[in-house]
Structure 1
């Protein structure tokens, strides 16, 4: 049994409770991730990361993000996880020194050249080994510990049994992806994007060609007819919220959520659900049980069907997506609360998607704050009546049936 694996109980290098590590593609997402319960956030700078399509951070934005996170006792990590070509080396030392200067707690690196350079020129930065190194066994983890790294991010293909084995042999922090998109290639080492679009997945340019739709051919003839669905190579997404006790008790130190390209609504919703589940376990592990509302919340942010990845078994054909993908829940992100007046019950909402009177909406905030209502009368800031909130980022005044707080979020029902 995994939970009683020999060596786990005496393991010294284990966080007091697991870190909840959230993605942030821009400064706003960083702030919401921290506000909704993340212990740490990983971001990308404008160089050396694998999400060149994200907004990514300037050094000034990093500094502001670090200052915000520190107010909550949270940390900021920076992904520097490309495999560097010769032309990538120039400027690396200065970049790493600047990360240290602005207060970044750690970098996430795969290339040994980046690892060594960071250790040499920016000793104040921790170096966490990226999942791009595809680490699956304790001997490799021991190697990187001997190289001075305090944490290894395991390959997504690692099982719970293998994590237990690693933790029983090596006294080190283990980080594992517990939620988000999975790659059809081994640990993301894909070259399809390079061949199809000349965009290098391992230098930040992935075009997600596995999610494209394809016709199938045999001897020059198409196998799928006009009435058939086109084929994709896309996998279902990972979700381990049903298995918080197993993850904690096997010794995972950092629960990592994938998604620097995902929406603000996704980040806040998923972080909020996992935060509640983790805290509930530590409040009373003996009587812990999964609450249906946590799973409901995760599904409201889901882009694809969900599964448990490689944690319990090798995924089969059932874990891939062959049919058109249905949205998991009938809700869309509609707005963010900016202000609330308790005397009048009126809230100022920053619009993020069209909504109008009569629609069913939900409000939610950190820690499980949640209620439903219908949209009533709408006004602009000058008091003029509106028939709909139709302009992006428009400030809308509406009455809420319960108190709300700044940074609470609003969804609308769409079917």
Structure 2
């Protein structure tokens, strides 16, 4: 471990100890740090300098380094693009003057930005939100119910989105003119989508993009089949899934102009528009006559290893305030989990141009169907299949087994609710 990383680790250890110390209490000297941690004197000096730079400690010449009298806390945040972090930092600093945020690659960061569909191990990465916080937020009645389900597992809620963004399909107009000159967005169906992808591959292009796209289409197909609750449809869905994984993941992405389709959340549209790509949008296709809409969301969660979590939970709750939600929607062109803000956005033309609100009442959000554990296992299965560790037949069998386990759990849950309803009626 180099000097900088070693110094950061020791500074974090001292920061944890400072939680039980009084303001003005003296910290270990450089010599004491050298003896305790077996480090060089230069590294020990760097440790104390880090605490001073973070406003956690004050240095008095000739006397030593002391716990800061006005405790200013620097909180590390892992994940998230620069724009998300900038909004988060500026608004949090206004709300919590004694706090500043810094981006970090440390997996033990106090705050973690969680994106939906990533295969998180909630139970080991995140601290569950306090019950009283969840009760308070639910009692406000501001949020769409699914907001409390996105990062829920085993009865615990680990995060609530700052905003969400349904996924639409971007299609390259230049390539489509050569494949299907008369293509219209609403022609994109369960039947036409794989045909168009195959035609693109025959021309030497890519049908659609990376692993994210493959996993997204897979879960959408399986979720739609689950709604039909028919073994024939389920088997058909599993047959549809395997071909999406048999083609290599292209090195080129949509910006190269060599990929026909790309699945995009709204917050990525501005980026692609700035790349000079000639593309249009189409609604996400229905499968088995079911409209299951994938979406991404961004949530701020508390790291399980964080000390003194109360302040961090307050910051997470602040991301659900109308002020923060509105700011995120304005910058990302996404949607708020706050009903009032989203309804107001429905009146703005720029929010209506990509099929978000077409048949809104008929749309099922995909995240209702599959727990985080299923997404993790799907990632692992895909990796094994791509690396030829398992055959296509094994892939399908393993996927079917996990999928039907979820279906059985869903059926049991529905039966339980039905029994409870009957008891109440009696």
Same fold (TM over 0.5): no
TM-score (norm 2): 0.24
Higher strand content, 1 or 2: 1
Q: Flag the structure with higher helix content.
A: 2
- Larger RCO of the pair (alpha carbons < 8 Å, separation 6+): 2
